[in-house]
Structure 1
Amino acid sequence: MASGRSSRNHHWWPVGLQSYWTDRFGYVSWIGPGGCIEKKRSVNRKIGFKIHGHTIFRGTDWESNFEYEFDIDNEVHKIISALQGMTPLGRTPKEFFALIKMLGKKDRSLHDMCKFYHLEEQLHRGLLLFLYSLLIRSPGSRSRYEGYPEMIGLPPDEEVGKGNMVQNYRIAKKLCMSGLISNQYFVLMHSPLKKFIFGDGSLDWLTGNLVANRINGRALLPLTPHLCVYFCTPMAMRSTPNCASISVPPWMVEWVNGITQIYSKEKLFFLGKPPQISDAFRRNQFLEHAEQKDALIDMLDEAIGNKRSRNHFFGLNANLY
């Protein structure tokens, strides 16, 4: 949860969210680009934070703290519980047999494998703001914000980065809490078997459009080892539903994890078996796609009704890296 002004340890990975990644002994584990595995007790609140990460120092005795802005952290468990309750197709006997029957059809699509819901307004706005909060304060975004002075020949600046961070988050917060929420869609990816990983960077084709004061783009964020959220803003969609829930196979989880490794630099958090490190993560840089294109994203767009190649979902061309 957001700890307010009294603490100088400002979390970019909310403590409440870390609880879902804690093993039965109370530890959260992560692996670095060199293959070194570390772990700490989550109860000590010394994971996923930066000292004075949300305090802007102005070169004098004056400073400003914006840690309180991330009060959406207090809603973590409520949001996760609501998403977990939106179960994918196949969790009831009737749905299970219908799903088995569907698997025998050659012309099935990813859309056919989804169960659809409508997020009520409060949950919709809260989830969207929570996704923005994770993206904007991540080390990956912080690095990008600090590098803006390089555009005019100046060195990276940590305080400039904090200023950009809080400016973007305040825009996002206003849009999420009181702006229009039409043409926004969530895909909930549930994985009962293979686990997702979480890194210090994420696929973020969303926050860059805040400069135009609008919510537009795509983002892919693992929230728990068994739940990943994809968010997008379709050009056109019906008013309801606005959420698709699907149980994803292990190879799709592996694909998501590969994308997470591209966008991460120093830490990959995991529960259970450590992930196999990719060449991208070994480079120890915040990398990204050369273009905002990925076949997995195409598949997820299919879940909301966009027509995509069906071969991808059922095993062909599934290995991106």
Structure 2
Amino acid sequence: MGTGAMLGGGSKSREHHWWPVGLQKFWADKNGDLAWISPQGKIDRKRVRNRKIAKKAHGHTIFHGQVWETNFEGDFQSVDDAAPQIVETLLGFKPFGLTPSEALHMFRLLFKRDRHLRDTCRFYNLDENTNRKLLLLILSLLIRGPGNRFRYENYPQLVGLPPNENVGKLNMRQAYSLAKRQCETGSLSNRYYVLLHSPWKRFVFGDGQFDWLSQGLNGYRIDGRALMPLTPHLCIYVCTPRSMRVTPNCASFLAPPWMVDEVNEMIQACSKDAIYFMGSQPKLMPAFIEGQFLRHNRPNNYLIDLLDEVAGNTRPLSSLISWTA
């Protein structure tokens, strides 16, 4: 049998996307181009429809010697196909403050000393089907992203061995298989989503994410928190409160510019090679210029604490922000 024979099913394509084209389209300009910037400040643009962005050759192919290979690109097909509709559903969960009466209420809150972020939210209930699909989409983006790929490939260093690309792919496939099984058929533990809408200032997307969720995968539950920009105007935060009511399980609010800046700084700190953006070129942060995948030392900072408070996952508000490679 010739080189490249395949074990199991899956796509025969050698170009595997870690960011689905269906999501990239939300970040394209009026010409259909998507822009990104490197740590050195170099800007590139490509047409989304050409499918040449955020991909890796044989990124989801495990090689077994010189002859056999296992391609698990097809494992992501269903979640990628569903991604655009999931985002459209979330965009339909409008934030509080869009009507004149709601805008007046928000203005009055500025003079209220004991105001809370929850006071500016509109609340929704995600049905079980949407909940499962959304959680799987978030986990799929985290698990196959370059940041986690880098960590998976470096697991052998824990036992004194060099990084291994095939080991990384095996770990990636195992993690996603576990996530898929839990999201599709497992029992759903407490899960709360907070939608940050920003009609004015734009979010960025990176090749690394604020991820304290994918590491919380086990055979029984999915525990942790993550922050994921889905479009330039919508970012989602997911967390696992210790206790919560069955409904609502989703809050939606208008994010002020400082929150968007904070999210973008966190995304830059987690990213290594590329920050994707729409419109004006983002200001590069020192953490991104380092060109490393950094991780937050703690799963919280002031913004995360505020979002946790909305979800009912209350802890003392903190201000410490520390990043490590």
Superposed CA offset, 1:214-248 (max 9, x none): 20000001010000010000001111100010100
2:308 maps to which of 301, 307, 320: 301
Q: Distance in 2 between matches of 1:206 and 1:294?
A: 16
Q: Distance in 2 between matches of 1:204 and 1:294?
A: 13
Superposed CA RMSD in Å reads: 1.9
Q: Which amino acid in structure 1 is aligned with residue 131 of structure 2?
A: H
Counterpart of 1:177? 184
Q: Say if 1:142 and 1:165, in contact at 8 Å, map to a contact too.
A: yes
Q: Distance in 2 between matches of 1:180 and 1:213?
A: 8
Q: Say if 1:182 and 1:239, in contact at 8 Å, map to a contact too.
A: no
Helix, strand or coil for the counterpart of 2:296? coil
Superposed CA offset, 1:168-187 (max 9, x none): 00000011111222410000
Q: Which amino acid in structure 1 is aligned with residue 28 of structure 2?
A: T
Q: Which amino acid in structure 2 is aligned with residue 8 of structure 1?
A: R
How far is 1:166 from its partner? 0.4
Helix, strand or coil for the counterpart of 1:6? coil
Q: Distance in 2 between matches of 1:128 and 1:84?
A: 16
Q: Say if 2:225 and 2:299, in contact at 8 Å, map to a contact too.
A: no
Q: Which amino acid in structure 1 is aligned with residue 29 of structure 2?
A: D
Q: Unaligned 5+ residue runs, structure 2?
A: 1-9
Counterpart of 2:13? 7
Q: Distance in 2 between matches of 1:320 and 1:291?
A: 8
Q: Say if 1:171 and 1:213, in contact at 8 Å, map to a contact too.
A: no
Helix, strand or coil for the counterpart of 1:99? helix
How far is 1:7 from its partner? 1.5
Q: Distance in 2 between matches of 1:158 and 1:219?
A: 25
Q: Unaligned 5+ residue runs, structure 1?
A: none
Counterpart of 2:75? 69
Q: Distance in 2 between matches of 1:293 and 1:41?
A: 36
Within a 5 Å distance, the mapping from 1:89-128 to structure 2 comes to: 89-128=96-135
Counterpart of 2:37? 31
Asked if 1:254 corresponds to 2:261, the answer is yes
Deviating more after overlay: 84-93 vs 221-230? 84-93
Percent identity of equivalent pairs = 52
Q: Say if 2:297 and 2:322, in contact at 8 Å, map to a contact too.
A: no
Q: Say if 2:146 and 2:208, in contact at 8 Å, map to a contact too.
A: yes
How far is 1:83 from its partner? 0.3
Counterpart of 2:53? 47
Aligned length: 313
Q: Distance in 2 between matches of 1:306 and 1:18?
A: 32
TM-score, reference length from structure 2: 0.92
Superposed CA offset, 1:192-213 (max 9, x none): 1110000000011011122454
Q: Which amino acid in structure 2 is aligned with residue 58 of structure 1?
A: H
Counterpart of 2:194? 187
Asked if 1:271 corresponds to 2:272, the answer is no
Q: Distance in 2 between matches of 1:145 and 1:213?
A: 22
How far is 1:104 from its partner? 2.8
Q: Which amino acid in structure 2 is aligned with residue 215 of structure 1?
A: I
Q: Which amino acid in structure 1 is aligned with residue 287 of structure 2?
A: A
Q: Say if 1:299 and 1:309, in contact at 8 Å, map to a contact too.
A: no
Q: Distance in 2 between matches of 1:300 and 1:320?
A: 19
Helix, strand or coil for the counterpart of 2:11? helix
Q: Which amino acid in structure 1 is aligned with residue 11 of structure 2?
A: R
Helix, strand or coil for the counterpart of 1:159? helix
Deviating more after overlay: 119-128 vs 296-305? 296-305
Q: Distance in 2 between matches of 1:217 and 1:297?
A: 12
Q: Distance in 2 between matches of 1:318 and 1:168?
A: 30
Change (3 A) 1:207 1:161: same
